[in-house]
Amino acid sequence: MLKQFAREHDDLNNEKGSYNRLSKFLWDRKHLKKVIMTIPYNASSQSMVKYLSESLVKSHYDEAKKTGWYHDGENKDCLINYYDIKLLIKTFSFVIKNDFKKISRLMSYLSQVATLCNKLHIPISWPLPFGLTINQCYFKVNTITISPFSYIKTKINLQVPSNNLIDKNKQLRGLMPNLIHSLDAHSLTNLYRLFCIKFKNEEQPPFYSVHDCFGTTCNKVDELKELLRIVYVDLYSDNAYLEKFDAYIMNHVTAHSNGEWVGRRYTDSDITYDLIDIDWVLSKKVLHNKIIKKILSQHIVCSYLSR
């Protein structure tokens, strides 16, 4: 695509040069991983440019062109500049918007959910499959600086909620990463439950975890992998979690406001708000547990984009 863009920008020498340099650059997974991983966390374009430039080696700064030049640490003759990196981030956004439309629409849907709750001045709430309810409510804070000791100059900053006013920006930016983290926590809980049932005869089943990474002793690795596949299939396939999330949100809004829903339109005396439908994001294929053993991948990639 970069080569295609280079051909299409014959009249824009600056961008044409950037696309040519980017298409020849030897990209490694370590350069792009953090950029891609932070998209679901609502990372800004400026942050992604920063992450990408920090993964490269700075060669020199061009005073004439007012830009820094970078290489991958091995091929020092293949250089890209800061403008190239910004253009690459724009290309990422273009790819996601056009080739991964479900991701873009899901992000828009979650943004609408947060916006509606902000308009109604209510927390955002959603359920996990085991019954735990998550409540997200970021308050605006005031920072107060105090000097607790008279004999030293050390100061402490305290953040105090400001009259219970909801921080609408944090509510908006926090929903997607918090939803992901809550589903990861559910997966961990369910995996540990199944693992303990599987090895119930052992006093202390050897189960280890760091965030969303799981481990056990060598003789139980195959069982752990199979149980993990069961957990992900149950959560993201048969249970149609996103449908339940959507229904819960609509009921949550009704219970904490004076308005009502007509189809996907919420109306009260002050607000009329349309919530986009989620049918477009649901896969019609159902993955059953009986075919789990056919999944032999060492790295399991799952998303709540599909049922």
Q: Specify whether 181 is located in the same domain as 58.
A: no
Q: Specify whether 75 is located in the same domain as 218.
A: no
Distance from C-alpha of 184 to C-alpha of 298, rounded to nearest angstrom: 18
Asked if the model's pLDDT at residue 182 lies above 70, the reply is yes
Range in 75-79, 82-86, 220-224 with the lowest mean pLDDT: 75-79
pLDDT band at 302 (very low <50, low <70, confident <90, very high): very low
**What angle (nearest 5°) sits at the alpha carbon of residue 131, between those of residues 283 and 108?**
40
Asked if the model's pLDDT at residue 102 lies above 50, the reply is yes
Q: Specify whether 75 is located in the same domain as 19.
A: yes
Is residue 306 included in any domain, yes or no?
no
Residue 13 confidence (pLDDT)? 53
Number of domains forming the structure of the chain: 2
Is residue 42 included in any domain, yes or no?
yes
Is residue 104 included in any domain, yes or no?
no
Q: Specify whether 75 is located in the same domain as 131.
A: no
Distance from C-alpha of 123 to C-alpha of 244, rounded to nearest angstrom: 18
Residue 16 confidence (pLDDT)? 67
Hey, is 68 helix, strand or coil?
strand
Query: Which position has the token pair 């873009």?
Result: 104
Asked if the model's pLDDT at residue 259 lies above 80, the reply is yes
32: left (phi over 0), alpha (psi -120 to 50) or beta: alpha
Is residue 30 included in any domain, yes or no?
yes
Provide the residue type at 213 as one letter.
C
Q: Can you say how many angstroms the Cα of residue 42 is from the centroid of all Cα atoms in its chain? A: 7
* Residues 58, 70 contacting (CB under 8 angstroms): yes
pLDDT band at 25 (very low <50, low <70, confident <90, very high): confident
Give the pLDDT mean for 69-97: 85
Asked if the model's pLDDT at residue 42 lies above 90, the reply is no
- Give the number of other Cβ atoms within 10 Å of residue 266's Cβ: 21
Selection from 33-47, 136-150, 252-266, 286-300 with the highest mean pLDDT: 252-266
Q: Specify whether 83 is located in the same domain as 130.
A: no
Q: Specify whether 78 is located in the same domain as 10.
A: yes
Q: Specify whether 93 is located in the same domain as 130.
A: no
Q: Specify whether 265 is located in the same domain as 128.
A: yes
Structural domain range at position 76: 2-99
Q: Specify whether 57 is located in the same domain as 131.
A: no
Q: Specify whether 231 is located in the same domain as 265.
A: yes
Q: Specify whether 95 is located in the same domain as 128.
A: no
Distance from C-alpha of 303 to C-alpha of 307, rounded to nearest angstrom: 9
**Side-chain half-sphere CA neighbours of 86 within 13 A:** 9
Gyration radius of the chain over CA positions: 24
Q: What is the DSSP letter of 255?
A: H
* Residues 17, 25 contacting (CB under 8 angstroms): no
Q: Specify whether 129 is located in the same domain as 268.
A: yes
pLDDT band at 306 (very low <50, low <70, confident <90, very high): very low
